[in-house]
């Protein structure tokens, strides 16, 4: 047994040497750069699994967790035991004391490169994303106000629903503070892509990793438009219709399956981690493309729109032109995406003006 132990020890020493020389993926992105990331709403259903994934990320140096419940300190303590080189720190606000919350939040935001916002109340059965609007709109506006004061140059990634409205709210708050940079504000619509890749992969019997569906529009109901006409082997018109509906209703599918126990938290955390990773890859100089809900002029009357964007060191390096669409997709865009999405955007802008 001694010899195998010796061989094992030698392998381990070689590995440690490689880590020290920066040749291993441990503790560094593609060029050795690592970033400070904050998760606001870190003790929630999305926040906890998202923080777990980020703790294992080679792109993350410091991970700051903020929430308004004391549990967040426990989540941070728990994650700080994971043997990864990420430094984890918790910051607990207080629902009864706005001043304490502000101080803790601002402390949490100090020096952050990327801020992910899953804060808010989740959907329950029978609730629409609109029901979330009043509560989550206020929460997002408050968090963004503090970001504007502490780290206005950070990459802001909004997960709190309804994203179609919370992103325009964030933009308006940043404008009021005079620090709005549309290249640094994202609505995370990655879950629509993740679901599309998975469902279509199952249908055409390919690994979801080999499928890359472009999803445009917004991030709820009929505003979600996966461009399935590009799938090879081609899908039948009937399958395209069924799969489009399934992607659009996938959030509700999970809400109902959890029967009052929550909404899509784990898949959302997975998708948010993927998006955050792409943002950090962009920051470190890699060229990455992800679909995201951003300020855009692709569709005239819609000031915000989800589509493929190229990420870089300043955030959005380029909003890519829309791919060619089938007649079915064009009709969906005209009849089912534009009106509700425009209304959601206007609702967000009006709400921000009333604050």
3-state secondary structure the chain: CHHHHHHHHHHHHHHHHHHHCCCCCCCCCCCCCCEEEEEECCCCCCHHHHHHHHHCCCCEEEEEEEECCCHHHHHHHHHCCCCCCCEEEEEECCCCCHHHHHHHHHHHHCCCCEEEECCCCCCCCCCCHHHHHHHHHHHHHHHHHHHHHHCCCCEEEECCCCHHHHHHHHHHHHHHCCCCCHHHEEECCHHHHHHHHHHHHHHHCCCHHHCCCCEEECCCHHHEEECHHHCCCCCCHHHHHHHHHHHHHHHHHHHHHCCCCCCCCHHHHHHHHHHHHHHHHHHCCCCEEEEEEEECCCCCCCCEEEEEEEEECCEEEEECCCCCCCHHHHHHHHHHHHHHHHHHHHHHHHHHHHC
Please indicate, yes or no, whether residues 262 and 118 belong to a single structural domain of this protein: no
Please indicate, yes or no, whether residues 215 and 183 belong to a single structural domain of this protein: no
Please indicate, yes or no, whether residues 244 and 111 belong to a single structural domain of this protein: no
Rg of the chain in Å (alpha carbons): 21
Per-residue model confidence as pLDDT tens digits over 30-76 = 578 999 999 999 999 999 999 999 999 999 999 999 999 999 999 99
* pLDDT score recorded for residue 309: 99
Listed residues 139, 162, 187: the one ending a domain: 187
Listed residues 150, 169, 187: the one ending a domain: 187
Which residues are documented as binding site for substrate?
A: 123, 129, 161, 195
Structural domain count of the chain: 2
Listed residues 187, 208, 225: the one ending a domain: 187
> Helix 163-176 to helix 129-150 angle, to the nearest 10 degrees?
30
Please indicate, yes or no, whether residues 213 and 146 belong to a single structural domain of this protein: no
Parts of the chain with a pLDDT under 70: 1-2, 22-30, 129
In a domain, 8, yes or no: no
- At 344, which CATH number? 3.90.110.10
Please indicate, yes or no, whether residues 205 and 344 belong to a single structural domain of this protein: yes
pTM: 0.94
* pLDDT score recorded for residue 78: 99
Question: Cα separation of 38 and 43, whole Å?
Answer: 12
Choice among 8, 64, 81, 219 that is catalytic: 219
* pLDDT score recorded for residue 317: 98
Please indicate, yes or no, whether residues 304 and 229 belong to a single structural domain of this protein: yes
Which residues are documented as binding site?
A: 41-47, 67, 123, 129, 136, 159-161, 195, 268
Domain that holds residue 278: 190-354
Please indicate, yes or no, whether residues 41 and 165 belong to a single structural domain of this protein: yes
Say whether 8 is catalytic: no
In a domain, 16, yes or no: no
Please indicate, yes or no, whether residues 98 and 241 belong to a single structural domain of this protein: no
Which residues are documented as binding site for NAD(+)?
A: 41-47, 67, 136, 159-161, 268
In a domain, 4, yes or no: no
- At 113, which CATH number? 3.40.50.720
Please indicate, yes or no, whether residues 195 and 283 belong to a single structural domain of this protein: yes
Please indicate, yes or no, whether residues 346 and 283 belong to a single structural domain of this protein: yes
Please indicate, yes or no, whether residues 161 and 250 belong to a single structural domain of this protein: no
Question: Cα separation of 136 and 132, whole Å?
Answer: 6
């Amino acid at each position: 047994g001694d010899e195998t132990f010796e061989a094992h020890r030698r392998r381990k020493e070689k590995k440690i040497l490689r880590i020290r020389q920066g040749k291993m993926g441990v503790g560094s992105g593609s060029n050795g750069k690592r970033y400070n990331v904050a998760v606001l709403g870190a003790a929630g259903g999305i926040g906890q699994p998202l923080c777990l994934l980020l703790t294992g990320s080679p792109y993350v140096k410091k991970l700051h967790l903020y929430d308004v419940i004391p549990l967040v300190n426990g989540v941070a303590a728990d994650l700080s035991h994971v043997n990864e080189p990420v430094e984890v720190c918790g910051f607990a606000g207080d629902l009864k004391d706005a001043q304490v919350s502000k101080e803790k939040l601002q402390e949490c935001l100090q020096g952050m490169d990327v801020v992910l916002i899953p804060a808010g109340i989740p959907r329950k059965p029978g609730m629409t994303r609109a029901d979330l609007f009043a509560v989550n709109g206020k929460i997002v506006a408050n968090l963004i106000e503090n970001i504007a004061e502490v780290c206005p140059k950070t990459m802001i990634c909004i997960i709190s629903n309804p994203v179609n409205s919370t992103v325009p709210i964030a933009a308006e708050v940043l404008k009021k503070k005079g620090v709005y940079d549309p290249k640094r504000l994202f609505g995370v619509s990655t879950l629509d892509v993740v679901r599309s890749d998975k469902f279509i992969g199952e249908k055409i019997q390919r690994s979801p990793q080999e499928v890359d569906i472009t999803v445009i529009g917004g991030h709820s109901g009929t505003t979600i438009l996966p461009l399935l006409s590009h799938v090879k082997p081609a899908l039948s018109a009937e399958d395209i219709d069924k799969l489009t509906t399934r992607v659009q209703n996938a959030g509700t599918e999970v809400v109902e399956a959890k029967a009052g126990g929550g909404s899509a938290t784990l898949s959302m955390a997975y998708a948010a981690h993927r998006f955050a990773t792409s943002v950090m890859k962009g920051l470190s100089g890699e060229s990455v493309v992800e679909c995201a809900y951003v300020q855009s002029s692709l569709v005239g009357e819609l000031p915000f729109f989800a589509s493929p964007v190229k990420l870089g060191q300043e955030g959005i390096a380029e909003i890519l032109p829309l791919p060619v669409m089938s007649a079915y997709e064009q009709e969906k865009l005209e009849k089912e995406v534009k009106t509700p999405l425009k209304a959601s955007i206007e609702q967000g802008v009006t709400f921000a003006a009333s604050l």
